Amino acid sequence: MVRCLPRSSIGIGTPCRRVGGDFQFRSRCAFTSVAATNSARSVFARPPKQLELNRYLALNSHPAAYQIASSTIATPSSLTTQRRFIHHHEQTPSSKVCPDAKTALALSGLKSGDMVAVGGFGLGGIPETLLNEISFQDDGPTNLTVISLTAGVDSFGLGRLFEAGKVKRMISSYVGENKNFERMFFSGELEVELVPQGTIAARLRATGNGMPVIFTPAGAGTMYANGGIPLKYAPDGSVAIVSEPRPTQIFDGKEYVMEYALRPDVSLVKAFKADTRGNLIFRGTSQNANPDCAVAGKIVLAEAETIVEAGELDPDEIHLSGVYVDHLIQAENNEKRIERLRETVAGQVPNISGPRGRIVRRAAKEFKDGMYVNLGIGIPTMASSFIPDGVHIELQAENGLMGLGPYPDPSIGQRGDADFINAGKETVTSIRGASTFCSSESFSMIRGGHIDLTILGGMQCSSSGDLASFFIPGVLLKGMGGAMDLVSSPSTVIVTMKHTAKDGSPKILKECTLPLTGKAVVDRIITDMCVFDCDKKNLKKGGLTLIEIAPGTTVDDVRAATGCPFDVVDGEIPVMEEP
């Protein structure tokens, strides 16, 4: 006969050996012979093979385990072990659901001066209910530092926090859609720290991974790394606070910026579906930075459109484990406003003419079959309507979608969906075989060199391949978005833009006069006048080479509109297609 210790000390298939006339099991907490201990504790009256079967059934939660275990208990004292086993397997997991947002925020301990991470991209996937509750609390926390990929729009979501005077500093990548935000910044009411979108996601994810810092090429060699970007203006319009230089390090001959992990005191996230244990499922591009905010937060509050009982979600379909979520509420404010509703008609090609159309059609010729491509807002996105015949590419949106489809077509029953938007916050569809993912994974694809081609717009380019595209000090505040991450990646980088500014001044210069998005990052410039190749790697002592020219344009015309010298391709210069 053998004495059985509690289940937690037994491993499935634990070997046994005979000791004297009894069986003794080998385990970290050894089974000992009853004869040796002269104990009157629980015993099994069945042979060892039956004991192994009972233990296997119990450990695998087989329904028959309870009946078999009961039939083999020899003494009342063994009921303690049985009760412990039943308690472990039959207990209903405790719920993390709170009755409302006010209760959840009270439990979070959010206070004035805290750092708060907020999920969402544009208006997609934002925790509306929690944001509204904070905004409407007259005696609630103030002087908050808010981390979010974007600043939203006026009078909705994050916009209400700014209008309620709750925010002291905003850490964001793009704030261009919020006019009130821009006014508050230039009037000195708000501090703004612009950070590349992929860097924000990575710094949040680093905290979740227990890493104090990361190294990224985004922003290396620019004012972002060197310091000097205005963080706050004084009421008289002068700069009150500027950014400090960031540490850099050279790895394999390339410069990287060291960034400290972001550790918010409280994170607010939004899910499509959740269970009562806090396991979360997201939908479409509404996933964005929500998981990254969640893994970083000391306390995490989640709101979900639908909440089900624990066990009703397929474990394989859960995007974020409930281990990261502290409190959960039903999303009561669920407007899910669409920022830019775009629709199309099947087979209808946009009518884009003039200089703009020339740029779009030329950019489309850069697509090669099998490419994974990221397209910026505006002209680059339009190029996807002119993909050459026989060429199949897959488009990535950095807010979390691979397999970007056309705008929804109402004629075939498609409607704009707030959970499927592109990086320009426009409604889109997804193609067959598409996938969605969080922001940190999206930018891992980019930094890791898995995106073949990036096409984006610009304000200025230099002859050495520098790009300026995100900021005009004292005049225009938009942010770099994901551009710094994209142009610093191993992908081919093509810039599309008008050759001159509205006042006729050159936008292609020997040196950019605006803050840089990236240094020596541009491979090709496509304008309404010509196409330049950039020797960004200085293989030919740097500089530009004109490789195509617009119809009716001469080389002298291009020289007059360009603020730097350039070479011309040998032989006859190819002519750009006229729209």
Question: Could you give the residue numbers annotated as active site?
Answer: 398
The residue whose two tokens read 């409604």 is 427
Q: Which of 518, 523, 503 is nearest to 454 (CA)?
A: 523
Q: Do residues 471 and 515 lie in contact, with contact meaning Cβ atoms separated by under 8 Å?
A: yes
In 284-428, DSSP assigns E strands to 299-308, 327-330, 372-375, 394-397, 401-404
d(CA 160, CA 155) in angstroms, rounded, equals 5
Positive or negative: CA dihedral 487, 493, 498, 504: positive
d(CA 267, CA 229) in angstroms, rounded, equals 27
CB atoms under 10 Å from CB of 56, counted, come to 13
In 471-515, DSSP assigns E strands to 471-472, 476-477, 492-496, 508-509
**DSSP designation for 27:** S
d(CA 1, CA 307) in angstroms, rounded, equals 50
How would you class 30 by CB atoms within 10 Å of its CB: exposed for 0-12, middle for 13-18, buried for 19 or more?
exposed
Cα-flanking dihedrals φ and ψ of residue 457, to 5°? -85, 175
Q: Do residues 36 and 19 lie in contact, with contact meaning Cβ atoms separated by under 8 Å?
A: yes
Q: Which two tokens stand for residue 88?
A: 């472990």
Q: Which two tokens stand for residue 507?
A: 């936008």
d(CA 290, CA 242) in angstroms, rounded, equals 29
Q: Do residues 259 and 203 lie in contact, with contact meaning Cβ atoms separated by under 8 Å?
A: yes
